[in-house]
Homo-oligomer: A and B are copies of this chain.
Amino acid sequence: MTGIVDARWCEKTFEQVKNWGRWGADDERGALNYITEKKRAAAAALVRDGTAVSCALEFPTQPAADNPHPALHMMVQGGDACTVGGPGLEMTSDFLGVAFHGMAVSHIDALCHVFVNGQMYNGYPGTDVLSVGAQRNSIMAARDGIASRGVLLDLPRLRGVPWLELDTTLTPEDLEAAEEAQGVRVEEGDILLVATGRDARREQHGSWPPVEGMAGLDATCAPWLHERRIAVLGSDGISDALPGRGIEGWSVPIHQFCLVAMGVHLLDNLCLRRLSEACTERGRWEFFLVVAPLRVEGGTGGPVNPVAVL
């Protein structure tokens, strides 16, 4: 399909899958525009038995091989001091703090998270991401939440393994094989979730440093994702296969093609084990999915707990 995949190929593909201008010169929503109200209503109509399944990991406050900057969770006032505010009310409270990007927190990437050659989605200059927050392409593009049809492609299931090995790189053919095996087809406006079995591997072997590798999509999946017109891409990894093909300037091409060229928001470090089980039980791989990032002006994304309703 692709011939030689090198920097030149990446540059050409970047141009080819570019959605800049597609939804206007001022657009900051990118492929979220594929989620029309009609699409959303149809997605809600997929709900059958009403089971709700979270696609997020526990908030990772403990250091680990893939969590060098642990999230903060501290009590402001615990049960031992619940009347500190004065008599008559017993209350506790806490504080959450997190630099959510990286490999440990279930989070969404806003379109301002990555640049290519100094530019963001729709051609905005990277310098618009100021030290006081992004002036363009912030997570506010998803301020009303992202609710659409979710589709899970479960690659370990396809291959009959508990998890994909660390050096696994998925191609469009793999994605299509999963579609066929599961009897589902990725369509315009979908939130595509790709399971690689990272949860199961971590449970068995513990966390590992991402430099050792992580299963994910090859750069060559970009045209396929573009053609299918997905709205959002998510994974239990970070969608990109690590360490990738080692092409200079294209260390995480899926991030670069999706966030910058296509305007596709990404969901990283999801927990897809529970969802995979629920889908397998039902023999259905589509569901209503709701992702509700905090409304942070200037934010580059946010920690999320995506909820699938089946």
Contact = CB atoms under 8 A, between A and B. Distances in A.
Contacts of A258: none
B40 A251 contact: no
The bracket for how many chain A residues form the interface is: 35 or more
Contacts of A150: none
Given A80-B80, A80-B131, A307-B147, A89 B252 contact: yes
Interface string A68-96: 11101111111111101001111111111
B294 A144 contact: no
Chain copies in the assembly? 4
Which residue, A50, A53, A88, A296, has most C-beta atoms of chain B within 10 A?
A50
B97 A96 contact: yes
B306 A292 contact: yes
Nearest to A92: B129
Contact of A63 (B63, B130, B134, B303): B63
Interface stretch (A41-49, A170-178, A200-208): A41-49
A37 B56 contact: no
B88 A114 contact: no
A153 interface: no
Contacts of A39: 50
Contacts of A263: none
Contacts of A128: 79
A307 B80 CA distance: 35
B131 A131 contact: yes
Contact of A300 (B63, B93, B295): B93
B63 A92 contact: no
Given A36-B50, A70-B69, A90 B116 contact: yes
Contacts of A293: 305
A288 B40 CA distance: 12
Contact of A126 (B43, B82, B96, B301): B82
A197 interface: no
Contact of A47 (B45, B84, B91): B45
Interface of A: 36-45, 47-54, 56-59, 61, 63, 68-70, 72-82, 84, 87-102, 112-118, 125-134, 143-145, 147, 248-252, 288, 290-307, 309
28 contacts: A36-B50, A37-B51, A44-B50, A54-B145, A56-B295, A58-B295, A63-B68, A75-B130, A76-B101, A79-B80, A79-B127, A81-B132, A82-B126, A88-B248, A90-B115, A90-B117, A91-B113, A92-B126, A92-B300, A93-B99, A93-B101, A93-B300, A96-B296, A96-B299, A96-B303, A143-B305, A145-B307, A292-B305
